[in-house]
């Protein structure tokens, strides 16, 4: 799994510690996200963008309204034994993220309604300050589970600075 791409492996809390290394610049770190972050220096990262597993636990095929099959995620990295196991995984990677973020660093986490509210709660439990919430509309959403429900047409992203601080920004609204 790429550290800056998808958090792709279900970890355990007890990983052997690898030696810390200097911060690699202009690189994508491949491997278990928690183990790779554990090797980075404290307070060395300006921004983290995380797309953690959604923990969908799909059981069966999904089909779009026109009948085509959805190639949904059903890989092992998106399977957890329980919500407690998912929460434990999330706490572990958030702990490392908080450690490597600079004092003025920010984390952005993307998710769907399947996971973003759990992750948001755990962000707050880890003493991050949720300052932004970005919602975007998906033109071709994945259908919901076989049930009478509306398709999931949005994804959410929470932006949280490492510390409560005065925030300076320039935003142009249209």
Q: How far apart are CA 156 and CA 81, in angstroms?
A: 25
The most confident of the ranges 65-69, 93-97, 112-116 is 93-97
Identify the band that residue 69 occupies on the pLDDT scale cut at 50, 70 and 90: confident
pLDDT at 119 (0 to 100): 93
pLDDT single digits (tens) 25-55: 788 888 899 999 999 999 999 999 998 988 8
pLDDT at 86 (0 to 100): 94
Identify the band that residue 59 occupies on the pLDDT scale cut at 50, 70 and 90: low
Q: 146 vs 158, which has greater pLDDT? A: 158
pLDDT at 153 (0 to 100): 59
Q: Mean pLDDT over all residues of the chain?
A: 75
Q: Is the pLDDT of residue 6 over 50?
A: no
pLDDT at 100 (0 to 100): 94
What DSSP assignment string belongs to the chain? -BSSSB------S-PPPPPP-PPPSS---BS-HHHHHHTSPTT-EEEEEEB--------S--B-TTSPBP-----GGG--SSHHHHHHHHHHHHHHHHHHEEEEEEEEEEE-TTTHHHHHHHHHHTT----EEEEEE-SSPPP-SSSS-----EEEEEEEESS-----------
Q: How far apart are CA 2 and CA 5, in angstroms?
A: 5
Q: 30 vs 69, which has greater pLDDT? A: 30
Identify the band that residue 154 occupies on the pLDDT scale cut at 50, 70 and 90: low
Identify the band that residue 77 occupies on the pLDDT scale cut at 50, 70 and 90: confident
């Amino acid at each position: 799994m790429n550290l800056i791409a998808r958090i792709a492996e279900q970890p355990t809390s007890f990983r052997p510690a690898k030696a810390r290394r200097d911060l690699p610049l202009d690189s994508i770190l491949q491997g278990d996200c928690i183990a790779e972050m554990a090797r980075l220096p404290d307070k060395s990262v300006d921004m983290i963008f995380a797309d953690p597993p959604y923990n969908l636990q799909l059981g069966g095929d999904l089909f779009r309204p026109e009948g085509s099959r959805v190639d949904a995620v059903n890989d092992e990295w998106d399977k957890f034994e329980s919500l407690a196991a998912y929460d434990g995984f999330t706490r572990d990677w958030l702990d490392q993220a908080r450690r490597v973020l600079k004092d003025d660093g920010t984390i952005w986490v993307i998710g769907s309604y399947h996971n973003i509210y759990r992750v948001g709660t755990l962000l707050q439990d880890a003493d991050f300050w949720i300052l932004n919430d970005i919602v975007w509309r998906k033109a071709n959403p994945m259908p919901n589970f076989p049930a009478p429900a509306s398709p999931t047409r949005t994804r959410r992203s929470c932006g949280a600075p490492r510390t409560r601080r005065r925030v300076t920004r320039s935003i142009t609204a249209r």
